[in-house]
Amino acid sequence: MSLHRSPQARSAQTHQYLIERIPKVTGHDVNIWLSRLAEGPGLLRFSERVNWLRAEHDLPHSYASALVHEADLRRRAIRA
């Protein structure tokens, strides 16, 4: 019997996996990356922030995207 997960569940699982691996892959804790993103050039669009992390800090696209998404999730959690 195979388990079918929704695309949202797979996406959340992939996001969590990437966030957990960031310290090992980059040598820096997630909170340090989130601080760098917050102190960065104040870009508004998701893709602009991802591209800035990639260009400025030489991060792979998947990790940069995960960090921007995590920053957005945490910002929404604070507002709620």
Q: Is residue 61 part of a domain?
A: yes
Residue 73 has pLDDT above 60, yes or no: yes
Q: Is residue 66 part of a domain?
A: yes
CB atoms within 10 A of CB 53: 23
Residue 1 has pLDDT above 50, yes or no: no
Q: Kindly report the pTM of this predicted structure.
A: 0.87
Q: Is residue 9 part of a domain?
A: no
Q: How many domains in the chain?
A: 1
Q: Is residue 13 part of a domain?
A: no
Range of the domain at 63: 28-79
pLDDT band for position 8 (cuts 50, 70, 90): confident
| CA-only gyration radius of the chain, Å | 14
Residue 79 has pLDDT above 80, yes or no: no
Over residues 20-56, the pLDDT tens digits come to 999 999 999 999 999 999 999 999 999 999 999 999 9
